[in-house]
């Protein structure tokens, strides 16, 4: 669901006050005078509202203090600039993980450099690679994330292994749920795999507030419906 008529952060109704007040933009963090905010108090400035997908992802992840990567991903996916499907998800996955990880570790100052590198690396993964290259860009995104936080290079040993293990685990998780592709489903599956991997291999336990329930099924022509683990009708018993 693209929140075209409500808040881009949470989808709730916008409230137009009689007098302007100073609020920080939920994307860039800049404080501005505005008379418009949602019922939960979220405000998005006009400049950020019009950002292209990759710029939006980068700027939001720099500004946010959220430690739950799934929550970050869901917020970003609500922006109209982030389409139902598309290669922007190849950056959205590592960006969400980088932001959550750095915030959780008390190192928000690392985010800018790591996000720029992740954006460059994700940019070489072609759209539709899941169907033509035998690897999903969301899975590659988790490998990009681990390679960045470990400082992996082609000549490293343990770091090289961890980055490839991460991509492999994400890819197997995605593959088990079958096709056709859904960039939302595959991104959430990859991020969940990365959360588990971080806990097992790094002892880092990122907080996950609640289970993801998909908001996009009605605009996805290839939606698996009840066969998707994020669909409301998916069996949980």
pLDDT tens sequence across 82-140: 988 888 999 999 999 999 999 999 999 999 999 999 999 999 998 888 888 899 999 99
Burial class from Cβ neighbours inside 10 Å (0-12, 13-18, 19+) for residue 203 reads exposed
- The model carries a pTM of 0.84
Most confident residue range from 2-6, 44-48, 136-140? 136-140
**Rounded (to 5) percent helix, strand, coil in the chain:** 50, 10, 40
175 vs 84: which has the higher pLDDT: 175
- 159-163, 190-194, 216-220, 227-231: least confident range: 216-220
Q: Residues 127-161, buried b or exposed e (16+ Cβ, 10 A)?
A: eebbeeeebbbbbbbbbbbbbbbbebeeeeeebee
Region 196-209 average pLDDT: 95
With bands split at pLDDT 50, 70 and 90, how would you rate the model's confidence at 50? low
């Amino acid at each position: 669901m693209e929140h075209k008529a409500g808040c881009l952060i949470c989808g709730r109704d916008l409230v137009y006050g009689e007098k302007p007040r100073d609020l920080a933009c939920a994307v860039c963090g800049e404080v501005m005078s505005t008379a418009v905010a949602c019922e939960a108090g979220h405000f998005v400035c006009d400049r950020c509202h019009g950002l292209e997908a990759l710029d939006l992802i980068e700027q939001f992840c720099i500004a946010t203090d959220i430690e739950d990567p799934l929550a970050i991903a869901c917020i970003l996916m609500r922006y109209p600039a982030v389409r139902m499907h598309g290669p922007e998800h190849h950056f959205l996955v590592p960006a969400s993980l980088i932001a959550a990880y750095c915030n959780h570790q008390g190192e928000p100052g690392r985010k800018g450099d790591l996000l720029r590198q992740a954006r460059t690396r994700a940019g070489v993964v072609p759209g539709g690679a899941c169907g033509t290259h035998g690897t999903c860009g969301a899975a590659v995104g988790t490998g990009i994330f681990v390679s960045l936080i470990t400082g992996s290079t082609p000549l490293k040993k343990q770091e090289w292994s961890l980055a490839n293990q991460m991509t492999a685990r994400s890819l197997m998780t995605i593959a088990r749920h079958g096709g056709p592709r859904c960039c939302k489903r595959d991104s959430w599956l990859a991020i969940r795999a990365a959360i588990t991997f971080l806990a097992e291999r790094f002892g880092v336990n990122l907080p996950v507030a609640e289970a993801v329930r998909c908001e996009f099924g009605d605009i996805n022509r290839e939606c698996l419906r009840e066969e998707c683990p994020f669909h409301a009708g998916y069996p949980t018993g």
